[in-house]
Structure 1
Amino acid sequence: MTKSGSASAASKPSSGHSSKDRASRSRASTAKAEYLSLLRELDRRRRANQLAAYRPYPRQAEFHAAGAANRERLFMAGNQLGKTRAGGAEWAMHLTGRYPDWWQGKVFDTAVRLWAAGVTAEGTRDNPQRVLVGPPQQPAAWGTGMIPADAIVSTIMGRGAPHGLDSVVVRHGGGGDVQADESVLSFKSFEKGREKWQGETLHGVWFDEEPPLDIYSEGLTRTNATGGITIVTFTPLLGMSEVVLLFLSAGEVERMGR
């Protein structure tokens, strides 16, 4: 006796995931990778242009604005209150010609020659240089300071301290009415003495600590021919020094003496 009827084909074991599910997961993975890549690129751009993100708090803004009418300015405050950051941001603006819409301070319409100085070569490296260029010990990260990475044309190493720079050539302007040119930033220190501060004609000198009076006077003299500026940013550690007294009125001196 023969059996009739057809046997059904055996079903294939299910993997639990359809091709539609796999495609959906692949798209999600691709979207996540693209999103993370975008975040990394945004962070890179932010780090490479700290100047664009700079927004001063009221005391910093007052300090900047005073430059429109004053050749000499002092930002005297306690530690970690943004003095060096303010000086670095302003110096980067003058070097590049990139002044933000909110800017009310001094404006140079040409490329400039500027100095930035601290007490020692190491102090200059660890403060003004770090804020302007980036971590001294990490050349690969130079361009993450206040001077935008795309504006740094070249750097010249110094001899006073390991990883200390002698100077930086900075791309100036090139957009709108600002003519393309090159600015030069040089780093100095007070410890070298007044003789090392003579001869140069400058648009500005930034003292990122309180200088001796003879150094300050020599730095100011360097800016006379250009009608340039000097800025001093420091925490008062020397009391009523000669340089501090230059910036205080008789009434302020009397009140501080009480």
Structure 2
Amino acid sequence: MRRSAAVSVASKPASARSSLMRTYLALLEEVERRRNRNRLAAYRPYERQAYFHAAGATHRERLFMAGNQLGKTRAGGAEWAMHLTGRYPDWWVGKVFDTPVRLWAAGVTGEGTRDNPQRVLVGPPQQQGAWGTGMIPADAIAGTVMGRGAPGALDSVIVRWGGGGDIQAGESVLSFKSYEKGREKWQGETLHGVWFDEEPPLDIYSEGLTRTNATDGITIVTFTPLLGMSDVVLRFLSAGEVERIGKR
């Protein structure tokens, strides 16, 4: 009897440790799941991103021009998610909308829009189960409308605006566009903002800017400069900056 009791007593600590480990791992998995479903809450811009955001308080048009993999699209996605949800962090000093918004996000082609701004905002295009792991928090996505072009491409997203939980103040609408269909497809809408991810032709840019006039809205442009001193780039440079570049 003593031998049996000794075995039983010795086994309890190991069992308890195993139970604690399982609980700990489950908690870690839940923390990771919640983090993935609310990446916006963890967004902290580095200096250049912060400057880009802050400029929105006084400028309707902004350009974030930098090399590859330097956080341009991430910055654009984070800001668009804030406007769409109304969830501005304590450190935010940029543009603020106090109502639900209508925003566009656009790339050169349908595939490019899907693989860049849509992916950053919503999540992996080809994995619907992972939608909600982009910058728009999962609990803020009220609905999606599929596009008719590239596989996995969305036409639009309905986003809960103004808080969280069961009580919502309204809904924002995000639509995805591309430059390849021409300026005519950019006409008619009244918008609070247009995000050009990759450099647009001047006529597309001008049409997008026009869509925001009635709302005192904004345009943001994020791209790596591949077209040199284009008309769009020149809009954002002072005469002195153009002269300095010309002397290089």
Q: Please report the TM-score for the alignment, with normalisation by the length of structure 2.
A: 0.96
**Aligned equivalent of 2:37, options 29, 37, 48:** 48
User: Equivalent residues in 2 for 1:120-135 (5 A)?
Assistant: 120-135=109-124
User: 192, 213, 222: which one pairs with 1:224?
Assistant: 213
Contact 1:77/1:234, CA 8 A, preserved across alignment: yes
Instruction: Read off the aligned partner of 1:59 and give its amino acid letter.
Output: R
Q: Which moved more, 1:131-140 or 1:12-21?
A: 12-21
The amino acid of 1:18's aligned partner reads V
Deviation at 1:230, TM superposition (A): 0.1
> What residue is the counterpart of 2:61 in the other structure?
72
Deviation of 1:18 after TM superposition, in Å, equals 2.5
Identify the residue that residue 24 of structure 2 maps to in structure 1. 35
1:206 aligns with 2:189: no
> Of the candidates 83, 103, 106, which is equivalent to residue 94 of structure 1?
83
**Which residue, out of 10, 13, 32, partners 1:21?**
10
Equivalent-residue separation in structure 1 for 2:181 and 2:54 (angstroms): 32
In the TM superposition, structure 1's runs of 4+ consecutive aligned residues that sit over 3 Å from their partners are 12-17
Whole-angstrom distance in 2 between the partners of 1:76 and 1:139: 31
Q: Partners in 2 of 1:172 and 1:243 — Cα distance?
A: 32
Identity across the alignment (%)? 80
Deviation track 1:68-90 (CA, whole Å, cap 9, x = no partner) reads 00000000000000000000000
Structure 2 residue aligned with 1:140? 129
How far residue 13 of structure 1 moved from its aligned partner, in angstroms, is: 9.6
Is structure 2 residue 170 aligned with structure 1 residue 181? yes
Q: For 2:240 and 2:4, how far apart are their aligned partners in 1?
A: 87
Task: Structure 2: give runs of 5+ residues left out of the alignment.
Answer: none
Q: Which runs of 5+ in 1 are unaligned?
A: 1-11
The AA in structure 2 aligned to 1:168 is V
Using the TM superposition, give the Cα deviation of residue 17 of structure 1 relative to its aligned residue in structure 2, in angstroms.
5.1
Amino acid at match of 1:98: R
Which residue is equivalent to 2:103? 114
> Quick one: distance in 1 between partners of 2:179 and 2:4?
75
1:246 maps to a residue whose letter is R
For residue 27 of structure 2, give the secondary structure of its aligned residue in structure 1: helix
In 1, Cα distance between equivalents of 2:5 and 2:72: 63
Deviations 1:87-128 (Å, cap 9, x if unpaired)? Answer: 000000000000000001000000000000000000000000
Taking a change above 3 Å as real, the CA distance of residues 22 and 237 of structure 1, as seen in their structure-2 partners, is same
1:239 aligns with 2:239: no
Counterpart residue identity of residue 54, structure 1: Y
Q: CA deviation at 1:15?
A: 6.4
Query: What CA distance in whole angstroms lies between the structure 1 residues aligned with 2:6 and 2:177?
Result: 68
Match of 2:151 in 1: 162
Paired residues of 2:199 and 2:232 also in contact (CA < 8 A): yes
Q: CA RMSD in A?
A: 1.5
* Other structure's SS at 1:162 match: coil
Question: CA–CA distance in 1 between the matches of 2:176 and 2:6?
Answer: 65
**Secondary structure of 2:214's match?**
coil
